[in-house]
Amino acid sequence: MFIREKIYTFVVLFKKSLYMKTIYELRYASHPADAKSYDTSRLRKEYLIETLFTADEVRMVYSMYDRLIVGGAFPVSGKLRLEAIDPIKAPVFLHRRELGIYNVGAGAGRVYAGSQIVELDYKEALYLGAGDREVFFESKEAANPAKFYFCSAVAHKTFPDRKMSKQDAIVIEMGSLETSNHRSINKMLTREVLETCQLQMGMTELHPGSVWNTMPAHVHSRRMEAYFYFELPEGQSICHLMGEPQETRLIWMRNEQAVLSPEWSIHSAAGTANYTFIWGMAGENLDYSDQDICKITELR
């Protein structure tokens, strides 16, 4: 009996260790009047996601801004399961959620969604519609691992899964080198390209010599947004601007960090070098052009 109990205890602990690789954080929504009084440390605590990738872990932030989940999975030594964290109160993560995934790592990776296996190379994306199936992340080579950045929104309807590359995207050229904001906007997981419930994601690449994104700045009261910055050279930084147009604040960011942008806030940035960022939105509508532009000369 004693030996049997020891074996049972070992099996239970071993099973737990297989799934104790998810770290999540819950963040509540804030009022713009409150944000006016935040100091630097409080701004960073509320809006900045400093760590997204830790080897063999899934990390995520559950935000009360339109209940968007922002996360990163970094599988090195094996598969990582996308767990249904306690706040979503569901049997599996995709039970009533949709998911957008980008591979932002050096190596290729695989996403397992139920019975299907999808390979993602660098900067390729995958949309997964709601449905009761497990999701796992895996790198093809441990020596050259993938990194999966993802956003997830609540979904009341299921739409088909679809893999997307930059070749499939709608590409918009904006800005100019003269105004330091020449950039290519790749609409990849948006309604112009595929059907989603409320999640929209895309990737903006700044050209060499350009550092400003989303300038002129804007707000969209019917959607919140998250920005994930990457491809920022070593030793460089990004100054992300947020806040109400006449009450702006700034957050200094590093490579592979993300920031939450409330519906009342602008979301713009300037880097000390050019970079790429992935934007993810959730909210009431899917109209990309539904935004209120803020004149540059009126920002405060």
Q: pLDDT band at 275, cuts 50/70/90?
A: very high
Could you tell me the pLDDT band of residue 288, with boundaries at 50, 70 and 90?
Answer: confident
pLDDT at 210 over 60: yes
CATH class of 16-298: mainly beta
pLDDT of amino acid 11: 38
pLDDT digits (tens, 9 = 90+) for 238-266: 999 999 999 999 999 999 999 999 999 99
pTM: 0.92
Query: Following DSSP, what letter does each residue of the chain receive, concatenated?
Result: -HHHHHHHHHHHHHHHHHH--EEEEEE----HHHHTT--HHHHHHHHEE-----TT-EEEEEESSTT-EEEEE--SSS-EE----GGG--SSTTSSEEEEEEE-SSS-EEEEETTEEEEE-TT-EEEE-S-S--EEEEES-TTS---EEEEEEE-SS----EEE-GGGSEEEEE--TTTT--EEEEEEESTTTS--SS-EEEEEEEPTT--EES-S-EE-TTEEEEEEEE-PPTT--EEEEEEETTEEEEEEE-TTEEEEE-TTS--EEEESS--EEEEEEEES---TT--EE--GGG--
Q: For position 285, what pLDDT does the model report? A: 84
Q: 150-172: per-residue pLDDT in tens?
A: 999 999 999 999 999 999 999 99
Question: What pLDDT, in 10s, does the model give residues 18-68?
Answer: 545 899 999 999 999 999 999 999 999 999 999 999 999 999 999 999 999
- What are the sequence ranges of the domains in the chain? 16-298
Q: What is the pLDDT of residue 286?
A: 86
Per-residue pLDDT at 289? 79
pLDDT for residue 15 is more than 80: no
Mean pLDDT of the residues in the chain: 92
